[in-house]
């Protein structure tokens, strides 16, 4: 199968490398800058281009892995053809393709990617959908060739998955960031957090987050909560502390 990638960012890089490893033929990488396109193209033995009009028309699969905000306009600029076009976004409906091409779909890897780290794709949940059964089956085969966790899901469901990922990844990472800042201001090295962070994540493999919840908020220890709020100087961080403590207490109170 002959594949063109539109995009060379974190997700494109990780997915292209994985497909290449699994012997898919990646013929071309498009990116807004030729440097970025070339960087990835060299790894997966493909051509590089930074011009939309130079995108090859002979591929069987076009994978759009670009920012959500530019995806619709890039799709509109490409000439239609008979190939399968898919995007990789959590929140954009499959219908973004409907006026541009006949065969289309989505392949959304539910993972956070960075260029510096390589991911074990076997574990990455892949959510796919297509506008027709035969392309759904093509996507199913591609997904199954790189991961053990594959889900055929509608655009409707997919956006809830993306939303849950904002909490479980983006917001979690922001909590790590704030925790590190608090320590940094006291000249305490932030790696003291790592064992706690690791255990908090591993714990929920065997215990539901509900049951795993600990800390001053869950028992509403007003003394500690007030002390903590006084320790925090940044008003933004203060309001996060207050809101999340209230929320933890709310959720727990309901249970009892």
Q: Which of residues 131-190 bind its own copies (CB under 8 A)?
A: 149, 151, 153, 157, 159-180, 182-183, 185-186, 188
Q: How far is the CB of 223 from its own copies (least distance, A)?
A: 7
Q: Which of residues 34-93 bind its own copies (CB under 8 A)?
A: 67-69, 91
Q: Of 21, 51, 76, 227, which lies in the binding site for its own copies, with binding defined by CB under 8 A?
A: 227
How many residues of this chain bind its own copies (CB under 8 A)? Answer: 91
Q: Is 118 in the site for its own copies (CB under 8 A)?
A: no
Q: How far is the CB of 166 from its own copies (least distance, A)?
A: 6
Q: Is 215 in the site for its own copies (CB under 8 A)?
A: yes
Determine the interface stretch with its own copies among 32-40, 56-64, 134-142, 205-213 (rule: CB under 8 A): 205-213
Strand 103-109 and strand 126-130: the pairing is: antiparallel
Q: How far is the CB of 72 from its own copies (least distance, A)?
A: 10
Beta-strand ranges (E) seen in the chain are: 2-6, 25-30, 47-49, 61-64, 84-87, 103-109, 126-130, 150-152
Q: Which long-range contacts (CB under 8 A, 24 or more apart) does 219-224 make?
A: 220/249
**How far is it, in rounded angstroms, from Cα 207 to Cα 23?**
39
**Ramachandran angles phi, psi of 98, nearest 5°:** -65, -30
Per-residue tokens: 29: 């990488």
Q: Which of residues 10-29 bind its own copies (CB under 8 A)?
A: 10
Q: Which of 61, 74, 50 is nearest to 24 (CA)?
A: 61
Size of the chain, expressed as the number of residues it contains: 256
Per-residue tokens: 79: 């000439």
Nearer to its own copies, 35 or 198 (CB): 198
Q: Is 107 in the site for its own copies (CB under 8 A)?
A: no
């Amino acid at each position: 199968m002959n594949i063109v990638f539109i995009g060379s960012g974190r997700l494109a890089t990780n997915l292209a490398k994985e497909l290449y490893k699994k012997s898919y033929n990646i013929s071309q990488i498009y990116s807004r800058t030729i440097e970025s396109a070339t960087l990835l193209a060299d790894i997966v033995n493909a051509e590089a281009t930074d011009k939309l009009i130079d995108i090859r028309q002979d591929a069987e699969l076009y994978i759009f892995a670009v920012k959500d905000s530019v995806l619709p306009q890039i799709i509109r600029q490409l000439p239609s053809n008979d190939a399968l076009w898919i995007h990789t976004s959590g929140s954009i409906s499959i219908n973004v393709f409907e006026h541009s091409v006949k065969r289309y779909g989505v392949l959304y890897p539910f993972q956070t990617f960075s260029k510096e780290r390589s991911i074990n794709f076997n574990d990455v949940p892949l959510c796919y959908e297509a506008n027709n059964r035969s392309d759904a089956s093509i996507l199913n085969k591609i997904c199954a060739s790189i991961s053990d966790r594959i889900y055929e899901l509608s655009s409707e469901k997919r956006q809830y998955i993306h939303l849950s990922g904002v909490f479980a990844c983006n917001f979690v990472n922001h909590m790590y960031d704030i925790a590190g800042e608090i320590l940094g201001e006291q000249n305490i090295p932030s790696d003291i957090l790592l064992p706690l962070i690791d255990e908090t994540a591993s714990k929920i493999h065997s215990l539901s987050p509900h049951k795993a919840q600990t800390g001053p908020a869950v028992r509403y220890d007003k003394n500690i909560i007030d002390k903590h709020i006084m320790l925090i100087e940044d008003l933004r961080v203060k309001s996060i502390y207050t809101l999340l403590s209230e929320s933890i207490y709310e959720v727990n109170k309901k249970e009892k």
